[in-house]
Amino acid sequence: MSPTDGLSVFVTRRLPGEAIARLAQACAVAVWPEETPPAPAELRARAAGADGLLCMLTDRVDGALLDACPRLRVVSNLAVGYDNVDLAACAARGIPVGNTPDVLTDATADLTLALILAAARRLPEGIAAVRDGAWGPWRLDWLLGLELRGASLAIVGMGRIGRAVGDRARAFGMDVIGVGREGGRASLHAAVARADLVSLHCPLTPETRGLIDAEALAAMKPGAILVNTARGGIVDQVALAEALRSGRLAAAALDVTDPEPLSPDDPLLAAPNLIVLPHLGSATTLTRARMADLAVGNVLAGIAREPLPHQVLAPPSAGTAPDTDRG
């Protein structure tokens, strides 16, 4: 008899590839059928009798949910980041938490470079000009952008994704400035003051929430570009919109916002020279299938009361810009 016989897992979204079939070979599986995430009350009701929970970064796993799930043995988060999971509440109940590291590093780093190039070379403006009939005779001074060779890039958070972005940036001839947790905000501000572009790759923690605030934006080099593929809450979006409107920043390119999804009438979207994507960092066929596979592996180990292959061991340590990253 298998150690997982008679056990059940609730999955908060359909998974790509063969992940669900693999999971169903070991236990009973219930999958939330909608494209949008379950509301908190619905999540509590659906997961109440589950032994395992496979969730997404849009699902809040907190004490209220855990109290409603007395049988729960494991939480497997299909993401590198786990700021949606209350690690302390899980630890207090002896519930291990798994994530899906490493597999989305290249996909997210690739997208970061795509955003850097799009913002630096003003691609959205060029595309809009063609569509709007504003493409006239060739002009020497029209839509001039930033050349990457010789430009400086400050990378805030030198974890796996941050390092991969640095490798790609160096291949373009850029000067990379790594920003870690040492030195606090003074070190951050000194680094961004030297950079033509700033790319964010730190996790969202109490220490990094609002890290890029009005003061940090004011410290950036005039005409610099901000890129965020980490978490939306790291940036003060009101301050960012003002920096774009005032011309202090040349552009910003975001794959993440706070909240997600961002309302179409959010004031941020009225700011000029802004690119916003709907959180596509890990959105490649290969990466999403690998993430699902890792998440299933964590669930199967957890419900069998075995060590998780990819377990989050402790809450992030304090610091202004931790060296781990999110996807």
Cα gap 262→276, rounded to integer Å: 9
pLDDT band of residue 314 (cuts 50, 70, 90) is: low
Q: Which of 125, 90, 94, 91 is nearest to 272 (CA)?
A: 125
Same domain for 115 and 155?
yes
> For 264-291, what is the mean pLDDT?
96
Model confidence at 184: pLDDT above 90: no
Same domain for 302 and 179?
no
pLDDT band of residue 325 (cuts 50, 70, 90) is: low
Same domain for 53 and 175?
no
Please tell me the predicted confidence (pLDDT) of residue 128.
96
Residue 323 lies in a domain: no
Catalytic-labelled residue, pool 189, 201, 279, 310 = 279
* Domains in the chain, number: 2
Residue 227 lies in a domain: yes
Query: What single letter denotes the amino acid at residue 194?
Result: R
Q: What is the pLDDT of residues 60-90, one digit of tens each?
A: 999 999 999 999 999 999 998 899 999 999 9
Model confidence at 135: pLDDT above 80: yes
> For 259-268, what is the mean pLDDT?
95
pLDDT band of residue 322 (cuts 50, 70, 90) is: very low
> Is 279 annotated in the active site?
yes
Please tell me the predicted confidence (pLDDT) of residue 81.
87
Same domain for 234 and 154?
yes
CATH at 79: 3.40.50.720
Cα gap 147→154, rounded to integer Å: 16
Range of 302's domain?
A: 8-103+285-312
Same domain for 37 and 128?
no
Same domain for 49 and 152?
no
Q: Which of 108, 115, 107, 110 is nearest to 251 (CA)?
A: 115
- Worst-scoring range by mean pLDDT, 4-8, 136-140, 147-151, 167-171? 4-8
Q: How many CA atoms lie within 13 A of 195 on its CB side?
A: 30
pTM attached to this predicted model: 0.87
Token pair in block for residue 63:
């004490």
Token pair in block for residue 156:
């805030």
Q: What is the pLDDT of residues 12-48, one digit of tens each?
A: 999 988 999 999 999 999 999 999 999 999 999 999 9
